[in-house]
C-alpha cells in the first residue's frame, strides 16, 4: 500500500474519532477534541493481538464507524509493547492489544489529548496498573469488567465509559466476550503506565 493510501486510512480514522467524540457527551466532556494535531508516520509494528482483533467476529460485526475505522488501521499501526520485559505472563503479551492514534507512535500527535485503541480477546486479565494521565475508556464492542481502586467493580458494554483518575489503580478483565475500547488521555501524556505495586485490588 502506498503512503498516500495509508495516510487516507489515518484521516478516515481521525474523522471517525472526531465524530464519536462529538456524539458522546462524556467523551466531549472529558476533553475538547484537539486543534493542534500534527500528522506523523508510525512505523508499523505487528503483534499477536493485531491478528486476534482483525479476525474477532465481535469486532468485525460491530457497526460503529469508529470500530470499523480502528480495524482498518490495524495493519498499518505501530502496536504497542508497553509491558514487554515486565513481570507479566507471556500469554498477556501475546494477546493484549493497544495501538495509538494520537500520541507517541500514533498517526497524529497532540499536546492536548492522547487517543488509543485497546483490544482484549475473551478470557484475558489486564492486571492493576496506573499512570498520571487521566483516562476514559469508551466501549465500542464486547464487554469487560472494570475494577478501579475505591469504587465498586462494573461490567461495561458498548456505549459505556470508564473514567480513571490520575494515579488511580485500575484493572480490566474479559470473560466470554472480547472488548474493543477507544481510550482517551488528558494531562501527563508522556508518562507510560506501570503495574501497580502488589497489583492488588
Ligand atoms: Fe489506564
CB 173 within 8 A of CB 100: no
Distance 179 CA to ligand 1 centre (A): 15
Closest CA to 94 of 46, 55, 48, 50: 48
| Cα 4 to middle of ligand 1, angstroms | 32
pLDDT tens per residue, range 48-61: 999 999 999 999 99
Distance in Å, CA 135 to ligand 1 centroid: 6
What is the tens place of the pLDDT at every residue in 133-169?
999 999 999 999 999 999 999 999 999 999 999 999 9
CB neighbourhood size of 45 (10 A):
13
Q: Are 139 and 159 in contact (CB under 8 A)?
A: yes
Q: Give 5 Cα–ligand 1 centroid separation in angstroms.
A: 31
CB 72 within 8 Å of CB 60: no
CA 167 – ligand 1 centroid, Å: 9
Q: How far is the CA of 186 from the centre of ligand 1 (A)?
A: 11
pLDDT digits 0-9 by tens, 64-111: 999 999 999 999 999 999 999 999 999 999 999 999 999 999 999 999
Domains of the chain, earliest start first: 3-30+37-199 (2.60.120.10)
| Grid coordinates given for 94 | 501475546
What is the whole-number distance in angstroms between the Cα of residue 147 and the centre of ligand 1? 11
130 C-alpha to ligand 1 centroid (Å) = 6
Cα of 63 from ligand 1 centre, angstroms? 25
Amino acid at each position: 500500500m502506498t503512503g498516500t493510501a495509508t495516510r487516507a486510512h489515518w484521516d478516515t480514522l481521525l474523522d471517525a474519532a472526531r465524530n464519536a467524540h462529538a456524539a458522546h457527551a462524556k467523551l466531549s466532556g472529558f476533553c475538547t477534541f484537539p486543534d493542534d494535531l500534527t500528522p506523523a508516520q508510525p512505523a508499523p509494528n505487528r503483534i499477536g493481538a493485531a491478528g486476534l482483533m482483525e479476525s474477532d467476529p465481535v469486532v468485525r460485526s460491530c457497526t460503529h464507524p469508529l470500530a470499523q475505522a480502528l480495524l482498518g488501521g490495524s495493519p498499518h499501526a505501530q502496536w504497542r509493547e508497553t509491558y514487554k520485559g515486565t513481570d507479566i505472563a507471556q500469554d498477556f503479551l501475546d494477546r493484549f492489544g493497544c495501538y495509538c492514534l494520537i500520541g507517541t507512535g500514533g498517526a497524529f500527535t497532540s499536546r492536548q489529548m492522547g487517543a488509543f485503541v485497546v483490544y482484549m480477546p475473551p478470557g484475558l486479565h489486564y492486571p492493576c496498573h496506573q499512570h498520571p494521565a487521566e483516562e476514559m475508556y469508551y466501549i465500542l464492542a464486547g464487554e469487560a469488567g472494570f475494577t478501579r481502586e475505591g469504587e465498586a467493580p462494573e461490567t461495561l458494554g458498548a456505549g459505556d465509559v470508564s473514567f480513571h483518575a490520575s494515579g488511580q489503580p485500575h484493572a480490566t478483565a474479559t470473560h466470554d466476550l472480547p472488548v474493543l475500547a477507544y481510550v482517551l488521555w488528558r494531562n501527563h501524556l508522556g508518562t507510560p503506565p506501570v503495574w501497580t505495586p502488589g497489583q492488588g485490588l
